[in-house]
């Protein structure tokens, strides 16, 4: 009997939760291996497919980030080979070391990430959009400023004020969390 619409099967739900929780760090790791964000996007897509296909072999309770970073590393190396960029490929030892460091970071930044999410939620929609547009991969300051109807200098100052406000908020949230 098929599952009701809108209900995912448990292994898929678990995979999606784990992948989404680690996607930012994984994307950063993959970027250290590849020359462009376009390459990162391609490899991340392939990594998610391969990881889903192999998810049945993942040992629950072990380090998902280390597991998926290993898959991503091999996908990045395959991507570079397919593109004929052999000269850009790190040695296996260096790539292994980077994968290990990414895995060891584990949840080190998770409290800051949660605090930042709470602080971003406190911003108005326009302010949040301004920041997110300004920090998208490949964003160009003058294009974002024009889209916001501001001069480049005015946009830069607005973003700086928002960053300072976010920093103060995150610091306050972290103090509250540890109190």
Q: Which of helix, strand or coil describes residue 88?
A: helix
Q: How confident is the model at residue 107 (pLDDT cuts 50, 70, 90)?
A: low
* CA separation for the pair 47, 28 (Å, rounded): 14
Does any domain span residue 139?
yes
39 and 79 inside one domain = yes
* CA separation for the pair 150, 126 (Å, rounded): 13
Which pLDDT does position 114 carry in this prediction? 79
94 and 114 inside one domain = no
114 and 60 inside one domain = no
Domain with residue 142: its CATH number is: 1.10.10.10
How many domains is the chain partitioned into structurally? 2
Summarize pLDDT for 63-106 with one digit per residue, the tens.
999 999 999 999 998 898 887 654 445 556 666 666 666 555 55
Which pLDDT does position 75 carry in this prediction? 94
pLDDT at 163 over 50: yes
Which pLDDT does position 55 carry in this prediction? 94
Token pair 């991340």 in the structure block, residue? 44
CA atoms within 13 A on the CB side of 114: 10
Domain boundary among 57, 75, 105: 105
Which pLDDT does position 33 carry in this prediction? 84
Q: What's the domain range around 89? A: 10-105
CA atoms within 13 A on the CB side of 159: 19
* CA separation for the pair 8, 169 (Å, rounded): 36
Q: What is the mean pLDDT of residues 16-39?
A: 87
User: Token pair of 50, please?
Assistant: 């391969």
Does any domain span residue 3?
no
Domain boundary among 51, 86, 105: 105
How much of the chain exceeds pLDDT 70, in percent?
78
Summarize pLDDT for 114-135 with one digit per residue, the tens.
788 888 889 888 888 888 777 7
């Amino acid at each position: 009997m098929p599952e009701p619409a809108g209900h995912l099967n448990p292994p898929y739900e678990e995979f999606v939760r784990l992948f989404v929780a680690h996607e930012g760090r994984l994307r950063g790791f993959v970027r250290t291996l590849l020359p462009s964000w376009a390459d990162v996007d391609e490899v991340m897509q392939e990594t998610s497919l391969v990881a889903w296909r192999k998810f049945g072999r993942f040992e629950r309770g072990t380090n998902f980030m280390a597991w998926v970073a290993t898959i991503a590393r091999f996908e990045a190396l395959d991507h570079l080979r397919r593109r004929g960029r052999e000269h850009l490929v790190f040695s296996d030892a260096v790539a292994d070391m980077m994968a290990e460091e990414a895995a060891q970071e584990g949840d080190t930044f998770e409290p800051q990430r949660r605090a930042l999410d709470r602080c971003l939620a406190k911003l108005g929609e326009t302010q949040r959009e301004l920041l997110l547009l300004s920090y998208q991969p490949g964003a160009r300051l003058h294009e974002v400023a024009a889209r916001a109807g501001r001069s480049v200098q005015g946009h830069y100052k607005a973003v700086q004020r928002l960053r300072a406000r976010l920093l103060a908020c995150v610091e306050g949230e972290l103090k509250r969390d540890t109190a």
